[in-house]
Structure 1
């Protein structure tokens, strides 16, 4: 008598879905491929999640929770730091999260970039992460006697753009994390100096060494 196949848990199926979605994207991933990765069957997958859209949504929410648990405590500790140090800590945390959770980071990026089943799925997460950084940036600029205007959100969005690109480069080129973070900081600060110089009516920007 052949051995009975054990019924997989939701988390085991989500782990398999994470591998397939990360490798193929949402649209090209198939329920058949996910069932195969889980050593399970399509009927079992549908019994647990109902549809590919529901499966991706459940996976995204799980991975978003993991991301926020890793990043929000770091962002809560940013107030009071000099602006450059604050940027380095915030960006470094995002990059290290991506390097530690490459498949989960890819799933989150799919949703944030509007390439999942619902274009707005990742928007609320991105807004929370940007808000967490933007408030600290604005506070820091005010402490330095500057009017932040829209710069807080712009800087926070630039941090996330740089972090996503840094994570992608790290996985394609195998660049060491400290070196990668420093490269991205140099890139980010260059963009910030130009933005600040324009926004603050010229003069030497406050981030210049």
Structure 2
């Protein structure tokens, strides 16, 4: 494939994702159709299927793009340590919780995943990829601190991801129960609380211990 053709294909791919974001936001996942997404993007239905073999895969690709952008921002902030990244993490959570279409679309997709095994498998695979990225970020921060945690990196990644999803739901329904900085403060407390205490100093070998009542030569 020539460079110009590859660039045109990449542009169409992004245009389709932009169109899908608009249609899914307006219609919801269930009511959104591939035909409307194609019309919004100004392409044929066949073009949609050439890039994404199903509506499920198109939706997951849209989620992947958003996650990739969020993780890129968080990763850049993590260069300065976890504390420096906390404000960005809080902003990302609030952006989803305070956006009606993002929060509702996420909830609708979760319900559809429970009813559709095929879509459930696609969404589960996406969540595993998100979990792997979060776990790697936990490991990076743990190594930067030079400490060990009383839970595995994977377990901390699971808890952090579940915490974010739960806070989005609570914030959407009862904003007053989720302060703007609650996610970051909770993650900070979690990491500090999981830090294992340093091991006690090793006892000297028995041969090096002074014998009570003895006098050194």
Q: Shorter-chain TM-score: what band?
A: 0.5 to 0.7
The answer on whether the counterparts of 2:56 and 2:119 sit within 8 Å (CA) in structure 1 is no
Rounded to whole Å, the distance in 2 between the matches of 1:61 and 1:76 is 23
In the other structure, the counterpart of 1:56 is 56
In the other structure, the counterpart of 1:119 is 120
Query: How many equivalent pairs are there?
Result: 170
- Asked if residue 78 in structure 1 is aligned to residue 85 in structure 2, the reply is no
Rounded to whole Å, the distance in 2 between the matches of 1:189 and 1:122 is 28
CA RMSD, 1 decimal: 4.3
TM-score scaled by structure 1? 0.57
Q: 1:62 to 1:101 in 2, by over 3 A?
A: farther
The answer on whether the counterparts of 1:113 and 1:122 sit within 8 Å (CA) in structure 2 is no
Rounded to whole Å, the distance in 1 between the matches of 2:169 and 2:26 is 16
Rounded to whole Å, the distance in 1 between the matches of 2:121 and 2:133 is 19
The answer on whether the counterparts of 1:75 and 1:132 sit within 8 Å (CA) in structure 2 is no
Q: Report the CA distance between 1:79 and its aligned residue.
A: 3.3
In the other structure, the counterpart of 1:17 is 24
Report 1:1-209 matches (<5 A): 12=19, 15-21=22-28, 29=30, 33-34=31-32, 54-81=54-81, 83=82, 85=83, 88-89=86-87, 91-99=89-97, 101-104=99-102, 106-108=104-106, 110=109, 114-115=113-114, 117-148=118-149, 151-175=152-176, 180-189=179-188, 191-192=190-191, 196=194, 200=196
Rounded to whole Å, the distance in 2 between the matches of 1:108 and 1:60 is 11
- The structure number with the bigger radius of gyration is 2
Rounded to whole Å, the distance in 1 between the matches of 2:91 and 2:75 is 9
Gapped runs of 5+ residues in structure 2?
A: 1-14, 37-44, 200-217
Encode CA deviations 1:133-165: one digit per residue, 9 max, x unaligned.
Answer: 322322332343323585322222222212112
In the other structure, the counterpart of 1:43 is none
**Corresponding residue SS for 2:157:** helix
TM-score scaled by structure 2? 0.55
Rounded to whole Å, the distance in 2 between the matches of 1:153 and 1:167 is 21
**Corresponding residue SS for 1:127:** helix
Encode CA deviations 1:94-120: one digit per residue, 9 max, x unaligned.
Answer: 403414654345545635994354222
